[in-house]
Amino acid sequence: NKLIADLEDKKIVLANKEKELGNNKIALSKKLESLGGQIKEYDEYAVGIEDEIKSVQESISVYEKLGCGRYEDLSSCIKFVNATSFQFPVVKGTITSNYGYRPAFGDFHSGIDISGFAEGTNVYASANGVVGAIIEKSSCGGNKIYIHHYVNGKKYTTAYLHLLSIKVSVGQEVKQGQLIALSGGGASTMWYDGCSTGAHLHFTVANGWYLGSGYHGYSTFLNNTIDPRDVWPGLPPKGSGKYYYR
C-alpha cells in the first residue's frame, strides 16, 4: 500500500520535519511582529514528535489489517461516504475564540473554540468520514481526534481537541452526527492538558487529509487549516453571546 509505505518513510524524515516546524515558528513570528504582536508558540495545539510517531504506527497496523494493498490509495480500500455539508460538533455552543491571529495571546489559533457546556458533553462527527488519527493525553490539546472527509467531493480533515474521552478508533467509518467523544478541557483534563483553562472544544478544519493518511508533516496540516466559517458561514461571531444549535 502506497499509504503504508509513505507512513513507514515518515519515521526517517521526522527529524527534518521537526526542523521545518522550527523554521515555520521563526517565519510566523516575524509576520506577527510586523503586526505589533509577539508569538508565544507556533501553534497552541502542536502535535509532539513522539505522539505523531505513535499515531503513524497505529495507522499502519490498522490499514494492514484492513487489507490495503501496498500501492492502493486509502480511498480505494476504505469506504468513504460523500457528505454535502458540515454540522456543528455539539448540540449547543457559543464561539469564544476565533480562527487566526489573536493579539491578546500573541499566537495563531488554528481553529475555533466552542464553549457554553460542561465537561462530559457529547461531541459529534461534523461530517461523514473515517477516523485518521487519535492522540491521547497530549501535553497541549489533551485527547485529540482527526477525521478525514469527502465533502462535496473535496478532501478535508477535521480535528477535535481537549476531549475527556474518545468513543471511536482509528480506521473507523463515522456518520455525520455520530457520537465520537465527550468534551473535556476543564478540571478533569487540565492536569495533563496544559493548553486549556476551562471546559471547551477546539475544532479545526483543514483542506486535504493529514495525520494517518500519507505523510505531509504536522506543520503542513497547520498551513492548510482554514477558517471554519469558510465552509460554515452561519456560525455566530465570537463574543456575541449567541448560541449555535446543531
Reported confidence tier of residue 118, pLDDT bands at 50, 70, 90: very high
Whether residue 225 is predicted with pLDDT greater than 70 in this model: the reply is yes
Angle, alpha carbons 140-225-212 (nearest 5°):
70
Q: What is the mean pLDDT of the chain?
A: 77
- Residue 241, phi-psi category: left (phi > 0), alpha (psi -120 to 50), beta (remainder): left
The whole-number pLDDT of residue 205 equals: 94
Specify the DSSP class assigned to residue 71: T
CA distance 131 to 179: 12
Most confident of 76-85, 107-116, 200-209, 213-222: 200-209
Q: How would you classify the pairing of strands 112-115 and 201-207?
A: antiparallel
Q: How big is the chain by its Cα radius of gyration, in Å?
A: 17
The whole-number pLDDT of residue 2 equals: 56
CA distance 169 to 212: 12
Other Cβ atoms within 10 Å of 221 Cβ, number: 22
**Which has more confidence, 61 or 206?**
206
The whole-number pLDDT of residue 113 equals: 92
Mean pLDDT of 135-161: 89
Look at the pTM and tell me if it is higher than 0.85. Answer: no
Mean pLDDT of 171-197: 91
- Residue 63, phi-psi category: left (phi > 0), alpha (psi -120 to 50), beta (remainder): alpha
Whether residue 109 is predicted with pLDDT greater than 60 in this model: the reply is yes
What would the pLDDT profile of 122-141 be if each residue is shown by its tens digit? 999 999 998 988 888 888 88
The pLDDT > 70 percentage for the chain reads: 62
Closest CA to 116 of 22, 226, 201: 201
What would the pLDDT profile of 25-68 be if each residue is shown by its tens digit? 556 655 555 444 333 344 444 555 566 666 666 766 776 776 66
The whole-number pLDDT of residue 46 equals: 52
Rounded alpha-carbon distances, angstroms, from residue 243 to 85, 124, 215: 20, 17, 37
The whole-number pLDDT of residue 180 equals: 98
